[in-house]
Amino acid sequence: MRTITFASRNTKEITRDILTLIFGIAFPLILLLLLSAINKAIPRGYGPTNFQIQYLAPGITVFGLSFLSLFSSMLIAKDRTTGFVLRLFTSPLRPSEFILGYTMPMIPIALTQSTVCYLCALFLGLPFSANLLAAVAVNIPIAIVFIALGLMFGSVLSEKAVGGICGALLTNLSAWFSNIWFDTSMVGGAFETVSNILPFSHAVKAAQAAAAGDFGAIFPELWWVVAYAVVLTAAAVAVFAVKLKKN
Amino acid sequence: MEAIKTEKLVKKYKDKTAVKGLELTVYQGELYGLLGVNGAGKSTTIKMLSCLTQPTSGEAWVMGRSIKNEAEQVKAIMNVSPQETAVAAKLSVRENLEFIARIYGCNKKESKEKARKMIEDFSMEEIAKCRAATLSGGWQRRLSIAMALITQPDVLFLDEPTLGLDVLARRELWKYIEELKGKMTIILTTHYLEEAESLCDRIGIMARGALCAEGTAEELKTKANTNDFEEAFITIAGENTK
């Protein structure tokens, strides 16, 4: 009950900041529109495969979720800068309830963001299919990865610093190693190895497989992302608990 | 019965000792004033007693529960009004109050009823629907205190509650605190000495991380051989800060 109450408060804090919310949902759409336009301008057969709508749309939905890190880190960092955090820290809320309470409101945002992205992709030529519902659901683990990363950074860094780390560095890293913009196997070597170790490219491949209805190909990739989601959420709880004690 | 008891309570930050072996007893229903110059250790003491920070050594009990081993139980029976205004900026006054009531275990109906009562007690009817961020500093502070009281704690820590309030609002709050006397144990820290003298049953003066004098305002004045409480404070705190 305490977790839901706290989550409800956080939902209000996020949804009452309309500009940030619109930016979070609109930015991936703008990217999708721009890249589709570029792809259409390239003569057929010469453009990169990654930019074809059936690959691009799932990729952009995953990339769009990287903004959840910014949302979650800003929320927690902002709370930490005010006296309100003292009130929360002296309340009976446990570290796990804090992290869950910060995570829960982000899930509907993630689902909305992915749904809006796929709806837009339909107008850009993505064939309509029920598989797209599965593709939206498959994005939940990577959404949790981004949220947990944001909560970890937001627990230790200032509001200004998380803007740089989550808003710039993390979104760039997730873009480079995700296979969305280019095939990392073309770079090869350590770059490809790092890309395979990190969860981003696996999330993109799982989303692409789900959108294509190739369900057998989802799970080897998704397990990788689920493992990251579990470990990073546990790490976020641990970091928050340490922060709470060291206050 | 003892509401708060500390035994050789110590808090060290790297090479600085903020609280040095504090021995403090506050009785149930008492309004206890904790005074001291800046850096005397008052805020650190409150932070430890409200489980915000762990003591380096020593022990303390709130209503018989250890702050080290039973922090969760301690948190459930006490509340704090921090020095900084502590409100959720984007929630309305009513939502802030209901939110705190609910995280302390009230159901929806109870939290609504308690919020209604606090809004009435603190004369906040006209601003009940306003977001906290839009309120003046004085109203935010009043809301912050109401949020600490809504859970009807056994022990309430009021850290500089009237800081930033105008004279009228301060007097109104004093009246409210007076009414709470005996209903809960209150630990009040303040730099307004007339506030401590007028409200507190007993006053402890801290200097250099330790309690250097304790008693009623009258006893402290007698101890310092003066009729003026401010003079008494200056004498006692000054002697122990040298």
Query: What amino acid occupies position A42?
Result: I
Say which residues have a Cβ less than 8 Å from residue B94's Cβ, sequence separation at least 6: B115, B119, B128, B129
H or E segment and range at residue A137: helix A131-138
The Cα–Cα gap between B129 and B91 comes to 9
Q: Which residues of A touch B147 (CB under 8 A)?
A: 87
- What was the pLDDT predicted at A159? 85
Q: Which residues of B touch A5 (CB under 8 A)?
A: 99, 102-103
A39 or B26, which is more confident: B26
Q: Do B80 and A90 touch (CB under 8 A)?
A: yes
Question: Which parts of B122-225 fold into alpha helices (H)?
Answer: 137-149, 167-180, 193-199, 217-223
Q: Which residues of B touch A86 (CB under 8 A)?
A: 52, 80, 82, 84, 86
Q: How many CB atoms lie within 10 A of CB B23?
A: 13
- What was the pLDDT predicted at B242? 62
Chain B residue with the nearest C-alpha to that of A14 = B90
Report DSSP state, residue B126: G
Query: In this predicted model, what pLDDT tens digit does every residue of A208-235 receive, in sequence order?
Result: 999 999 999 999 899 999 999 999 999 9
Q: How many CB atoms lie within 10 A of CB A43?
A: 6
Q: Do A92 and B72 touch (CB under 8 A)?
A: yes
Which tokens sit at A5?
A: 């109450």
Q: Do B86 and A84 touch (CB under 8 A)?
A: yes
- Do A77 and A162 touch, CB atoms closer than 8 A? yes
Closest CA to A61 of A176, A164, A140, A165: A140
For chain A, say whether B103 makes contact (Cβ under 8 Å).
Answer: yes
For chain B, say whether A245 makes contact (Cβ under 8 Å).
Answer: yes
- Do A222 and A199 touch, CB atoms closer than 8 A? no
Crossing angle of helices A131-138 and A53-65, rounded to 10°: 30
Main-chain phi, psi angles of A93, to 5 degrees: -60, 135
Cα A162–A166–A167 angle (5° rounding)? 100
Q: Which residues of A touch B88 (CB under 8 A)?
A: 9, 13, 84
- Do B188 and B46 touch, CB atoms closer than 8 A? no
Instruction: Please give the model's pTM, rounded to 2 decimal places.
Output: 0.88
Query: What amino acid occupies position A119?
Result: L
H or E segment and range at residue B203: strand B202-207
* Residue in this structure with the two tokens 């500093």, named with its chain if needed: B137
Task: For chain B, 242 residues long, give each residue's pLDDT as a single digit of tens.
Answer: 899 999 999 999 988 999 999 999 999 999 999 999 888 999 899 999 999 999 999 999 999 999 999 999 999 999 999 888 899 999 999 999 999 999 999 999 999 999 999 999 999 999 999 999 999 888 998 899 999 999 999 999 999 888 878 888 888 888 989 999 989 999 999 989 999 999 999 999 999 999 999 999 999 999 999 999 999 999 998 877 66
Say which residues have a Cβ less than 8 Å from residue B65's Cβ, sequence separation at least 6: B73, B74, B77
Residue among A1, A6, A86 whose CB faces B80 most closely: A86
- Do A59 and A180 touch, CB atoms closer than 8 A? yes
| Chain centre distance of CA B78 | 10
For chain A, say whether B79 makes contact (Cβ under 8 Å).
Answer: yes
Which tokens sit at B38?
A: 């800046």
Residue in B78, B103, B134 to test binding to A, most A beta-carbons within 10 Å? B103
For chain B, say whether A84 makes contact (Cβ under 8 Å).
Answer: yes
Q: For A227, how many CA atoms within 13 A lie in the half-sphere containing its CB?
A: 11
Q: Which residues of B touch A76 (CB under 8 A)?
A: none
For chain A, say whether B82 makes contact (Cβ under 8 Å).
Answer: yes
- What was the pLDDT predicted at B31? 97
Checking DSSP bridges between strand B185-189 and strand B202-207, what pairing results, if any? unpaired
B33 forms beta bridges with: B188, B203
The Cα–Cα gap between A14 and B230 comes to 48
Query: What amino acid occupies position B126?
Result: E
* DSSP reduced 3-state for B9: strand
Chain B residue with the nearest C-alpha to that of A89 = B52
Q: Do B89 and A82 touch (CB under 8 A)?
A: yes
For chain B, say whether A5 makes contact (Cβ under 8 Å).
Answer: yes
- What was the pLDDT predicted at B91? 96
- Do B4 and B26 touch, CB atoms closer than 8 A? yes
Range with the poorest average pLDDT among A37-46, A120-129, B153-162: A37-46
Q: Do A83 and B105 touch (CB under 8 A)?
A: no
- ipTM of the complex as predicted: 0.89
- What was the pLDDT predicted at B241? 67
Say which residues have a Cβ less than 8 Å from residue B206's Cβ, sequence separation at least 6: B22, B34, B35, B36, B40, B41, B42, B45, B212
For chain A, say whether B75 makes contact (Cβ under 8 Å).
Answer: yes
Q: Which residues of A touch B85 (CB under 8 A)?
A: 83
Main-chain phi, psi angles of B215, to 5 degrees: 155, -175
A9 min Cα distance to partner chain B (Å): 7
- Do B150 and B115 touch, CB atoms closer than 8 A? yes
Residue among A5, A16, A92 whose CB faces B76 most closely: A92
For chain A, say whether B54 makes contact (Cβ under 8 Å).
Answer: yes
Range with the poorest average pLDDT among A35-49, A142-156, B149-163: A35-49
